[in-house]
Structure 1
Amino acid sequence: MAEPGPFRSDASVVQLAGRLLCWSLAAAMASAAADASLHPHLSWWGAVWPLPWWSASLAALAWTVLRAREKAHRMPPQDSARSDWEQAA
């Protein structure tokens, strides 16, 4: 039997994309706060501090696509009426 891993199902990939999005947003806010409050005068800082914002944008796009794909492939519950499932979607 294969051992369960983080990449075994679509749900886990969606969760990982969501975690990446959260961490990217945290890094982006931290870098923006550092830029606003500390005003670093490092030559490379101007190129580095926007990178977490780009990462957050890409992670948000990936999460959106993966979540839509997950919802599209989900089957409706067998014990409820189809109209209830369509109304919830």
Structure 2
Amino acid sequence: MAEPGPFRSPASAVRFCARLLCWSLAAAMAGAAVDAFGEPRAGWWGAVWPLPWWIFGAAALAWAVLRAREKADPPPPPGCARGDWEQAA
């Protein structure tokens, strides 16, 4: 039985990080568009709009490290039970 939670296997941690990477990039680009074309006047905007860019950078670094770790793991021996992510393919 699989462990519950987002980090039950290295593959799910990489997948979670990749999703965070994509969504933070989308939020950062949307925020940049609002900043460029909307000229928001809220006082907090100057401190908040760069936040998705920082999250994007951190997620990219975390994804790269987790993906390298995943690739460095040796493959399971033949005849060993496959993980749920391998069976889905």
Normalising by structure 1, what TM-score?
0.78
**What's 2:24 paired with?**
24
Q: Which residue of 1 aligns with 2:83?
A: none
Whole-angstrom CA distance in 1 between matches of 2:36 and 2:2: 49
Shift of 1:75: 2.1
TM-score, normalised relative to structure 2: 0.78
Give the Å deviation of 1:76. Answer: 7.8
* Structure 2 residue runs without a partner (length 5+): 79-89
Q: For residues 73-84 of structure 1, what are the structure 2 equivalents within 5 Å?
A: 73-75=73-75
Deviation of the 1:4 alpha carbon: 5.2
For 1:12, the equivalent position in structure 2 comes to 12
Looking at CA atoms only, which structure, 1 or 2, has the larger radius of gyration? 1
Moved over 6 A (4+): none
| Cα distance in structure 2, aligned partners of 1:9 and 1:37 | 42
Asked if the contact 2:2/2:8 (under 8 Å) is kept, the reply is no
Q: What amino acid maps onto 2:71 in structure 1?
A: K
How many correspondences in the alignment? 78
CA distance in 1, matches of 2:3, 2:62: 26
Residue 6 of structure 1 aligns with an amino acid whose one-letter code is P
